[in-house]
Amino acid sequence: MTALGEEMYALVERLYPLCRSITGDGVRATLDIVGEYIPLDVHEVPTGTQVLDWTVPQEWNIRDAYVADSAGHRVVDFAASSLHVLGYSVPVSATMPLSELRAHLHTLPDQPSWIPYRTSYYKPDWGFCLAQDTLDAMPDGEYEVCIDSTLEDGHLTYAEHVVHGRVPDEVIVSCHVCHPSLANDNMAGVAVATFLARALAEHTPYYTYRFIFAPGTIGAITWLARNAERVGRVRHGLVLACAGDPGGLTYKRSRRGDAEIDRVLEHVLTASERPHRIAEFTPYGYDERQYCSPGFDLGVGSLTRTPYAGYPEYHTSADNLDFVSPEAMADTLAVCREAFAVLDRNRRYLNLSPYGEPQLGRRGLYDALGGRSDTKQAQLAMLWVLNLSDGEHSLLDVAERSGLPFDTVAAAADALHGAGLVKA
């Protein structure tokens, strides 16, 4: 996991400088890099396409932007940070006094050395984001203002990667690719999703896993609008974000509150004894609110470390490469792998010898456990599986009720299945 953490961090380093938005070449460049790690199916959806109650907007691209003083010095320079420009700014070329320019400048007075992240996706506007310290040092006078951008008909871009399983029922893993230079929100999530896809492909999983890399909100809505026939096959889902900060893990339940993915994540986090928090669903946050909208009501939860808006660095230039770590991303990836291993093995079984306890010794089941360090626990797991294999209880039910590790319960079910005592 240490090596994987370093690889994920290296991917975040490559992605971090790119200027991303909900459309444009920054998203394409991001997906090009991810595509070096896993094969992607890239989709281009034209401007004006109706997607549920929304319309795909015009495409935004930017080449340069700056605020220069009378001596030509760039006081604010897009080349230094993609956060310096208000996202989706319309083109501007003008000279104006600081008194007029101030209305278009965004700062964080409480964090005077940080640059905020601001956007204006659906209302034509322009502006710059800068440190309050920089603004305080700007004398009155004339400033040259330039935003070399285009806002014109184009496309919204998103991508999918599919790990085919033994059944067509799907688990979706979704992360947003629309934020500019913010390392935790959400390039760490993109990196964890990428390496999770690679890990799942090492062995054929039970479910089919569909990874969705899309702009926030409008991207998830576009995917839902274009995949109405597939939505019925989605059994579980997870939105990944804020996956690399130093905080403990937080799992936010689906709208249902008791979906299988909710129970699996709570079980895995509790059993691992990691510091964590289980949060109830709210219709605010990341794209879980789209997948969990009442018309779809999919069993999709959200896994983060510190949740959105829960850390001072959120949506600022302090969400940088120093804020995320290989260790934190490796831990997030490990939890995802543990959770999906449970999800993939969680079945309901039927006891084929339900009248009284079957004789396990003459079937060699006790002998098979002789060399295990947890022999008594494994024997107890067999008895629990036999007792609760009524077609109604899952292996997760057995683990929760017995207090036994899920892996021990699943191994017991495998042994009993091999002996012909239960069937899935």
Q: Provide the CATH number for the domain around residue 378.
A: 1.10.10.10
Are 118 and 87 contacting, i.e. CB atoms less than 8 angstroms apart?
yes
User: What is the rounded radius of gyration, in angstroms, for the C-alpha atoms of the chain?
Assistant: 25
CA distance 54 to 290: 12
Instruction: Kindly state whether residues 68 and 192 are assigned to the same domain.
Output: no
> Pairing state of beta strands 276-279 and 249-252?
parallel
Per-residue pLDDT reduced to its tens digit, 23-46? 999 999 999 999 999 999 999 999
Among residues 322, 345, 368, which one ends one of the domains? 345
Among residues 326, 345, 364, which one ends one of the domains? 345
Tell me, what's the pLDDT at 373?
63
Number of domains forming the structure of the chain: 3
Instruction: Kindly state whether residues 249 and 267 are assigned to the same domain.
Output: yes
Among residues 301, 322, 345, which one ends one of the domains? 345
CA distance 217 to 175: 11
Q: What is the span of the domain harbouring residue 353? A: 348-423
Instruction: Kindly state whether residues 48 and 67 are assigned to the same domain.
Output: no
Helix (H) or strand (E) segment spanning residue 236: strand 234-240
Instruction: Kindly state whether residues 240 and 144 are assigned to the same domain.
Output: no
Tell me, what's the pLDDT at 364?
83
Tell me, what's the pLDDT at 375?
75
| Residue 252, domain CATH | 3.40.630.10
Instruction: Kindly state whether residues 195 and 335 are assigned to the same domain.
Output: yes
CA angle at 374 for the pair 373 and 375, rounded to the nearest 5°: 95
Instruction: Kindly state whether residues 282 and 354 are assigned to the same domain.
Output: no
Per-residue pLDDT reduced to its tens digit, 290-323? 999 999 999 999 999 999 999 999 999 999 999 9
Instruction: Kindly state whether residues 273 and 340 are assigned to the same domain.
Output: yes
Tell me, what's the pLDDT at 118?
98
Share of the chain above pLDDT 90, in %: 94
Tell me, what's the pLDDT at 336?
98
407 forms beta bridges with none
Instruction: Kindly state whether residues 124 and 266 are assigned to the same domain.
Output: no
Tell me, what's the pLDDT at 368?
59
Assign 331 to helix, strand or coil. helix
